Amino acid sequence: MSASQESTSQTIVAPQVLLGNHLKALKLPTFAREYEKVALESAQDRADYPRYLLRLCELERIDRERRNVERRIRLARFTQIKSLDTFDFAAQPSLNKPLVLELARCEWIEKRQNCIALGPSGTGKTHVALALGLAACQKGFSVAFTSAAALVHELMEARDERRLRALQKHLNTVKLLIVDELGYVPFTAVGSELLFEVFSQRYERGATLVTSNLPFDEWTSVFGSERLTGALLDRLTHHVHILEMNGDSYRLATARKAQRRNADEPSVNPRTKGEADADI
């Protein structure tokens, strides 16, 4: 290669390298990955420069939002990924489906309201809570998911390690806090007070979703204090949407359906191939 050819090659490559570095510094990975492909497509379509840039910006924005949603889902620490598309509303006729679909629009989160799902074990409360949490992540809201027992344990551990304030600050900053399975395990006096403080600090500052297998009049058995329980319910139920799920156990119904399907299937003759051939 002659000196002039080498100089020409460097002239062609250098802008691409510089552009790649600039786009990396500006945190535009999709822009960097797609600009050559989009340039060819735009040339074929005879698109002008603004349309070329518009296509790149749209791709960058779509990919960035996808990454942001994935990040919010990861930080939420969901036990499972559930959506309303997979929830069997027909199995829970007591559940207000229009209200659930309205809650999935997340306007109640913007208004810093609360939601409480009540019903026996196995009726789908956690599924609905996870689905509403997923919808919130997709709408751009930060979410934290935890069980009541795990949250109390984490609060008590943070208090012992002198980092309670930092944990409380984190719990106060998320737009939606989901506390699952309140009522399955009674708390100590200290645990009850710490959990009450979380709900109290979020009152009218952030949306909170609670699931419980107990009606409100039995919450005292969990917190051990009528005074504290009354104050807690006063805050949680001030701006609240109630989801009542009083049907049969969703898991039990699913198991029964599977059992019926197995019973309806024809039994397989255990005879060996040789025995079957002998009949021919």
* Structural domains of the chain sorted by starting position, each given as residue range(s) with its CATH number in brackets: 7-75 (no CATH), 84-255 (3.40.50.300)
Of the given ranges (13-22, 32-41, 70-79, 262-271), which has the lowest mean pLDDT? Answer: 262-271
Alpha helices in the chain (DSSP H): 3-25, 29-45, 49-76, 97-103, 107-110, 125-138, 148-160, 164-173, 189-202, 220-223, 226-236, 250-264, 273-278
**pTM metric for this prediction:** 0.81
Residue 21 pLDDT more than 90?
A: no
- Mean pLDDT, to the nearest integer, of 241-258? 77
Residue 143 pLDDT more than 80?
A: yes
Which tens digits make up the pLDDT trace of 166-200? Answer: 999 999 999 999 999 999 999 999 999 999 999 99
Residues 195 and 225: their CA atoms lie apart, in Å, by: 13
